[in-house]
Amino acid sequence: MNLTLYSINAFILLDSEGHRVLAKYYRPKALEAMGMGAGDLNTLKDQKAFEKGLWQKTKKAGGEIILYDGKLAVYKHSLDLIFYFIGGASENELILASALNAFVDALSLLLRNQLEKPAVLENLDVFLLCLDETIDDGIIMDTDSTAIASRVSRPRPDTTDIVINEQTIMNAYQTVKERMVQRIGQF
Amino acid sequence: MASFALSFQSKRDDESGLSAFYNNKTTIIQEARVFNESPISPRKCRALLTRIVYLLYVGETFGTQEATDLFFGTTKLFQHKDSALRQAVYLGIKELAASAEDVIMVTSSIMKDMQPNSEVIYRPNSIRALCRIIDPSMVQGVERFFKAAIVDRNPAIASAALVSAYHLFPLAKDVVKRWVNEAQEAVNAKASTSFFGASSGGYLGFGGNASNQQAAQTIQSTSYIVQYHALGLLYLIRQQDRMAITKMIQQLGGGKSGSSSVLKNPMALCMLIRYAAKIMEEDPNMQRQIFEMLEFWLRHKSDMVNYEAARIICEMRGVTAAQLSKPIAVLQLFLSSPKPVLKFAATRTLASVALTHPASVAACNVDLESLIADPNRSVATYAITTLLKTGNEASVDRLMKTITGFMSEISDEFKVIIVDAIRSLCLKFPNKHASMLGFLSGVLRDEGGYDFKRAVVDAIIDMIKFIGECKEQALSHLCEFIEDCEFTKLSVRILHLLGMEGPKSPQPTKFIRFIYNRVVLENATVRAAAVSSLAKFGVNSADEKFRASIGVLLNRCLDDVDDEVRDRAALFLKTFTAQPLAEVYIKDDSVFSLAALESKLVAYVKDPEAAAEPLDVSAVPKISRAQAAQDAARPSTLDTIGVPTTSKVSDAPPPPSIEETRSVYAAQLAAVENFADYGPVVNSSTSPAQLTESETEYQVTCVKHIFKEHIVFQFNVSNTLPDTVLENVVIIMSPQSEDCGLTEDFILDVPSLSAASSPSIVYVSFTRDSPEEYATASFSCLMKFVSKEVDPSTGEPEEEGYEDEYQLEDAELSAGGDYIIPSYTTFGAEWDRLRGGATATETFALSAMESLKAACDSIIEVLNMEALGGTEAPQSTSVHTLNLSGIVSGGGGKVLARCRMTFAKGQGVTLELNVRGEKQEACNLVLAAVGG
């Protein structure tokens, strides 16, 4: 029975081919000081092997939860990405799930529902801060997705250099297109 | 439009290249100079910080110097006020702090952001970063900030402070402990929503200040998550104090009515439930009260809380069927939920409950059946294994069909679970063995790792062992399996099994082809096993022609490239012609007791002097194969169904085996200098003899250690009186008869014995006057000591004490318990072999015995020897022969006893005891044991 607040062992983000987009394995120092070792998966090699095996078992949508390699993994598919929270085998499944839901909901608020690999890589700063506001070294910080999202700051363009290039034009075009689609959808 | 599509395509290409670009550590370290640019570009710096963190998250590592450089680069950014940049800086600091040096230098910069009056979005971030860089000795310096932050009205700040305190606790226990009142206040913070609703409006009202506006943009959390963090910290601080925790649970649990529950965060309640469960486990007095609370939580409005409570009740030690009905009803509701996580949680818990209380879970069978085709394979697997345990014989076939359908889609771990469930099912419903064996042989052909294949092979082997009818069929499935088996270990096991079971089958010839194929096709290990297996067929067959064919096959193996294979073939060919050899090398049914052999070997290796002589294996007791199988028996199949539950972890470790206790004794004795020159321990009694009643104030047990020339009595003395200390505890042993062949050497006393230091050991050592004889005696024991009261105020014993003594029960030194070890052997052959050895015969009239069975039991108990060939259970009521075998420790060698008994009403049992052994003393010892 886990009597500590350290309930999340790792966050993993894999793409549709099972490659790591990014992953954070939490090793709280405090847990080690309490004499509870952080367990396995300490080396990159072990982690990658774990992720590969996990992906094999979870690549099909519609599972949301699995017990893999003695660890509880809750996961969510989103287009070309899979989000995982990993917890100990004895963890309350619903706690893990609520943390994952909070994170994914907050992220989709921040990325305007574009939970796909290009959008995530483009907004990595927002993504990483969002993760940091959800989990702090294995402790769930909050499960209120709107609060999490509102705590993530967005970069403000430097007033000195506003670049107009292909990318910004593309973004403008995308925005216009989205708005149009929304408007049309309303009628 | 076309050009847009085109450029869109190229943009995609760029992105795949993006990751490689981001991955480049060198580029990033070079680009870190943007930190030094003036004026600082917040956008660029934030982008670079993001890339640093990203690098770490994809698995890159920075060296200490690199990390330190980057870390101090980021600290320059504190000059810039941009909050978007500052948040990124804090993330960077957190991630780099682990590998960088001298991180403590930025403390003052961070502290500025922690100021209570700064209403910036990044104040929580600064608090959380601080705990990564701070030195334990400096925690005291920030105490004021933390105390204020913990009770801050903004939940983000309070949570950040609480979580940071949580991280800091092991490093600075004493300081963090002082924040207990603030944490308590944070738990009790009520009506937070209403306050925050008002406050955010208030911020807007202030308007003018830019940073204030930023704070106003953030939406306050409504999840009451602060309670979760505060409760966690409170528990961490108080966990050693069970009374405080109990009180906390009573307060926060809201008593029986629960109406005034303070805790609104479901995760906080889950933690409270876990704390309560721990208290309940440790303190039986609280059991009823906490159980009532758990039942109340089963009706809480949050699924999470219901589930936690239900799970805790299900995992409770010694839970009754009545107690289970409510939690199982809750779990049953989850089964029909559309959410996979709920279904998973419920089925997982039910599967583990079904191990112990299948009848209680049976109520959910209908719901479980609807889940066996669930898209989440884990849910389906748990549902099926549960059904396999709760279901009846009729549903087996249908279940098997469903399982076969999705075996390929689930992970190996679940396959093992299912195979184990089926194994236990086979034993439960032997009539269904046909369909189950079909299933097992089917999955044996599937892809799978070693653990999975081993589970299947184990299951089939169990079926062979326990279900006679399927033996033929199962063996032929295994034969097919080894035709194409990539696991050497499994091939060897199966070949061995074929060698044991095959010759007994009506048509042994059909196995030969499979086995010989292995000789042709496999690696050396498997070939050697195949040769042994073939030989068993040859030796055990009465058919001359068949034997000759085996001989031909073995002759071919003589040309093998591997030594072991050739040697085995040659050995077995020899046994074909020399029957006595076959008896010893192939048909012999006894094996060494592995535990005894191990401890013997350990002692041998540890003692440098012993290396001069080869190890004497004759002193190692033997056991029959059946016994060995029993010893090594896998845990009951039902237990192995690997449903991971927390309760398993908390279970007490299994009682130590005899050999383990022996090695503990040996280590204890080795620590006493006086015994250093006694040599190795020859034998120690298997279990301590009680010399007192179990409820008395002083408790004494006795263990005897036999050395080559000495005997040491070890008295474990416990003082159960907490307010007295016994000093100079000795045990005076006086033999009942003067002439016992033992001379007392010395007594090692216990200088001071309190309740806390109990049990302590008093040793009494004797010298064996003539070591080749086996002295037996009975000693009356008297414990003498000085009793002193403990002063309750100081905890120190008082000056004055009084001498006291305490009469113990007698300690016996007897043949059975102390010299003879049971050992298995083939009685007939051994009895004949010892014909020329030492022998002794005597007739006894055991008039008190009321039956032959009673006589057998008491003889076995007195002699502590192994009864052979089922002779411990007399078939006739008037005449019986009991055959016994044992080893006399200390070089006494083997000793066999044949007890011929007759029984007549009125006269009791007449016993003719015939002992043969390797040494005369050993035979005399056996006679004396019965006679005495």
**Contact check, Cβ <8 Å, B229/A5:** yes
C-beta separation of A41 from A53 below 8 A: no
Tell me, yes or no, if B650 comes closer than 8 A to chain A by beta carbon: yes
The CA distance from A19 to the nearest CA of chain B, in Å, is 10
Q: Cis omega (within 30 of 0) on the bond before B759?
A: yes
How many degrees, rounded to 5, is the angle at CA B471 between CA B468 and CA B473? 135
Alpha carbon of B634 to those of B175, B462, B631: distances in Å? 51, 10, 9
pLDDT, residue B198, reads: 35
**Contact check, Cβ <8 Å, B121/A33:** no
pLDDT beyond 80 at B513: yes
pLDDT beyond 90 at B518: no
Q: Which residue's structure tokens are 């799978």?
A: B448
Model confidence at B255, in pLDDT bands (50, 70, 90)? low
pLDDT, residue A101, reads: 92
Query: Which chain A positions have a beta carbon within 8 Å of B7's beta carbon?
Result: 166, 170
- Give dist(CA A93, CA A63) in Å, integer: 13
- Give dist(CA B789, CA B429) in Å, integer: 64
Work out the burial of residue B210: count CB atoms within 10 Å of its CB; fewer than 13 is exposed, 13-18 middle, 19 or more buried: exposed
Provide the chain A residues 29-68 that lie in CB contact (below 8 A) with chain B.
29-30, 33-34, 44, 47-48, 53, 57, 62-68
Closest partner residue to A155 (CB to CB) among B12, B84, B411 is B84
pLDDT, residue B308, reads: 92
Tell me, yes or no, if B239 comes closer than 8 A to chain A by beta carbon: yes
CA Rg value for chain A: 18
Tell me, yes or no, if A153 comes closer than 8 A to chain B by beta carbon: yes
Tell me, yes or no, if A88 comes closer than 8 A to chain B by beta carbon: no
DSSP string, B494-514: HHHHHHHHGGGSS-THHHHHH
C-beta separation of B926 from B819 below 8 A: no
Provide the chain B residues 214-233 that lie in CB contact (below 8 A) with chain A.
217-223, 225, 228-229, 232
- Give dist(CA B639, CA B643) in Å, integer: 9
- Give dist(CA B63, CA B69) in Å, integer: 10
C-beta separation of B514 from B483 below 8 A: yes
Tens digits of residue pLDDT in B27-83 = 888 888 888 877 788 888 888 888 888 888 888 888 888 888 888 888 888 888 888
The CA distance from A44 to the nearest CA of chain B, in Å, is 6
pLDDT beyond 70 at B932: no
pLDDT beyond 70 at B97: yes
The CA distance from B134 to the nearest CA of chain A, in Å, is 13
Backbone conformation region of residue B852, classed left if phi is above 0, alpha if psi is from -120 to 50, else beta = alpha
Q: What integer is the mean pLDDT of B903-923?
A: 82
**Contact check, Cβ <8 Å, B43/A155:** yes
pLDDT beyond 80 at B842: yes
Query: Which chain A positions have a beta carbon within 8 Å of B15's beta carbon?
Result: 117-118, 121-122
Interface test with B, best of A141, A161, A168 (most B CBs within 10 A): A141
To which CATH superfamily is domain B102-238 assigned? Leucine-rich Repeat Variant (1.25.10.10)
pLDDT beyond 90 at B113: no
- Give dist(CA B58, CA B80) in Å, integer: 29
Tell me, yes or no, if B47 comes closer than 8 A to chain A by beta carbon: yes
Tens digits of residue pLDDT in B848-889 = 778 888 888 888 877 888 887 777 778 887 888 888 888 887
Q: Could you tell me whether strands A139-140 and A135-136 are parallel, antiparallel, or unpaired per DSSP bridges?
A: antiparallel
C-beta separation of B110 from B79 below 8 A: no
In this structure, of A65-69, B4-8, B772-776, the range with the lowest mean pLDDT score is: B4-8
Interface test with B, best of A20, A32, A44, A64 (most B CBs within 10 A): A64
pLDDT, residue B14, reads: 41
How many degrees, rounded to 5, is the angle at CA B287 between CA B282 and CA B290? 110
**Contact check, Cβ <8 Å, A140/B267:** yes
C-beta separation of A23 from A13 below 8 A: yes
C-beta separation of A125 from A140 below 8 A: no
Closest partner residue to A170 (CB to CB) among B11, B46, B59 is B11
pLDDT, residue A96, reads: 93
- Domain positions in chain B: 22-100, 102-238, 590-647, 658-813, 819-931
pLDDT beyond 80 at B125: yes
Residue A175 lies in a domain: no
Work out the burial of residue B595: count CB atoms within 10 Å of its CB; fewer than 13 is exposed, 13-18 middle, 19 or more buried: middle
> What would the two tokens of residue B172 be?
């600075």
Tell me, yes or no, if A179 comes closer than 8 A to chain B by beta carbon: no
pLDDT, residue B470, reads: 82
pLDDT beyond 60 at B206: no
How many degrees, rounded to 5, is the angle at CA B74 between CA B70 and CA B77? 155
What amino acid occupies position B551? G
Query: Which chain A positions have a beta carbon within 8 Å of B344's beta carbon?
Result: 64-65, 93
Q: Which residue has the higher pLDDT, A123 or B742?
A: A123
**Contact check, Cβ <8 Å, B19/A124:** no
Q: Could you tell me where the DSSP H helices lie in B484-624?
A: 488-501, 509-521, 524-540, 544-557, 563-577, 579-582, 594-606
3-state secondary structure B722-747: CCEEEEEEEEEEEECCCCCCEEEEEE
The CA distance from A187 to the nearest CA of chain B, in Å, is 25
C-beta separation of B85 from B71 below 8 A: no
Q: What integer is the mean pLDDT of B829-858?
A: 81
pLDDT, residue A140, reads: 92
C-beta separation of B475 from B502 below 8 A: yes
Looking at domain B658-813, which of 2.60.40.1480, 3.30.43.10, 3.30.1600.10, 1.10.1760.20 is its CATH number? 2.60.40.1480
Beta-bridged to residue B193, according to DSSP, are: none
pLDDT, residue B192, reads: 44
- Give dist(CA B100, CA B765) in Å, integer: 62
- Give dist(CA B189, CA B230) in Å, integer: 10
Percent of chain B at pLDDT exceeding 90: 4
Q: Which residue's structure tokens are 């847990």?
A: A31
C-beta separation of B788 from B800 below 8 A: yes
pLDDT, residue B684, reads: 76
pLDDT, residue B636, reads: 39
The dihedral sign for the CA sequence B617, B622, B624, B627? negative
Alpha carbon of A111 to those of A64, A117, A119, A121, A175: distances in Å? 22, 11, 7, 11, 13
Q: Is B696 helix (H, G, I), strand (E, B) or coil?
A: coil
Alpha carbon of B316 to those of B182, B327, B329, B353, B647: distances in Å? 34, 12, 17, 10, 8
Tell me, yes or no, if A22 comes closer than 8 A to chain B by beta carbon: yes
Number of domains comprising chain A: 1
**Contact check, Cβ <8 Å, B650/A1:** yes
Model confidence at A12, in pLDDT bands (50, 70, 90)? very high
- Give dist(CA B502, CA B487) in Å, integer: 21
State the helix-helix crossing angle for B433-445 and B412-428, rounded to 10 degrees. 160
Tell me, yes or no, if B53 comes closer than 8 A to chain A by beta carbon: yes
Tens digits of residue pLDDT in B352-402 = 888 888 888 888 888 888 887 788 878 888 888 888 777 777 777 777 777
pLDDT beyond 70 at B196: no
pLDDT beyond 60 at B18: no
- Give dist(CA A90, CA B714) in Å, integer: 44
Tell me, yes or no, if A183 comes closer than 8 A to chain B by beta carbon: no
pLDDT, residue B213, reads: 41
pLDDT, residue B656, reads: 52
> What would the two tokens of residue B450 be?
């070693």
CA Rg value for chain B: 38
Q: Which residue has the higher pLDDT, B126 or B594?
A: B126
pLDDT, residue B571, reads: 85
What amino acid occupies position A48? K
How many degrees, rounded to 5, is the angle at CA B707 between CA B701 and CA B710? 85
Query: Which chain B positions have a beta carbon within 8 Å of A66's beta carbon?
Result: 376, 378, 411
Residue A87 lies in a domain: yes
Q: What integer is the mean pLDDT of B233-238?
A: 90
Tell me, yes or no, if A169 comes closer than 8 A to chain B by beta carbon: no
Query: Which chain A positions have a beta carbon within 8 Å of B274's beta carbon?
Result: 1-3
C-beta separation of B94 from B52 below 8 A: no
The dihedral sign for the CA sequence A102, A107, A112, A118? negative
In this structure, of A148-162, B3-17, B206-220, B676-690, the range with the lowest mean pLDDT score is: B3-17
Tell me, yes or no, if A15 comes closer than 8 A to chain B by beta carbon: no
Closest partner residue to A33 (CB to CB) among B41, B170, B342 is B170
Residue A95 lies in a domain: yes
For residue A101, the domain's CATH number is: 3.30.450.60
Tell me, yes or no, if A117 comes closer than 8 A to chain B by beta carbon: yes
Interface test with B, best of A132, A135, A145 (most B CBs within 10 A): A132
- Give dist(CA B100, CA B104) in Å, integer: 10
Class (C level, CATH) for B819-931: alpha beta
Among B828, B867, B854, which residue's Cα sits nearest to residue B911?
B854
- Give dist(CA B318, CA B329) in Å, integer: 19
Query: Which chain B positions have a beta carbon within 8 Å of A28's beta carbon?
Result: 167
pLDDT, residue B630, reads: 59
Among B355, B368, B501, which residue's Cα sits nearest to residue B424?
B355
What amino acid occupies position B342? L
Average pLDDT of the residues of chain A: 85
In this structure, of A22-26, B207-211, B341-345, the range with the lowest mean pLDDT score is: B207-211
Average pLDDT of the residues of chain B: 78
The CA distance from B224 to the nearest CA of chain A, in Å, is 9
Residue B342 CB-half CA count within 13 A: 15
Q: Which residue's structure tokens are 């950040």?
A: B160
Model confidence at B632, in pLDDT bands (50, 70, 90)? low
Domain span holding position A60? 10-162
In this structure, of A60-64, B260-264, B445-449, B502-506, the range with the lowest mean pLDDT score is: B260-264
pLDDT, residue B211, reads: 39
In this structure, of A51-55, A95-99, B230-234, B895-899, the range with the lowest mean pLDDT score is: B895-899
Q: Is A33 helix (H, G, I), strand (E, B) or coil?
A: helix
Q: What integer is the mean pLDDT of B822-845?
A: 79
What are the backbone angles phi and psi of residue B898, rounded to the nearest 5°?
-115, 120
Query: Which chain B positions have a beta carbon within 8 Å of A143's beta carbon?
Result: 223, 225, 267
What are the backbone angles phi and psi of residue B790, rounded to the nearest 5°?
-100, 130
What amino acid occupies position B224? Y
- Give dist(CA A40, CA A46) in Å, integer: 8
In this structure, of B117-126, B326-335, B630-639, the range with the lowest mean pLDDT score is: B630-639
pLDDT, residue B235, reads: 92
A 10 A CB-CB count for B873 gives 12
- Give dist(CA B508, CA B505) in Å, integer: 6
C-beta separation of A125 from B46 below 8 A: yes
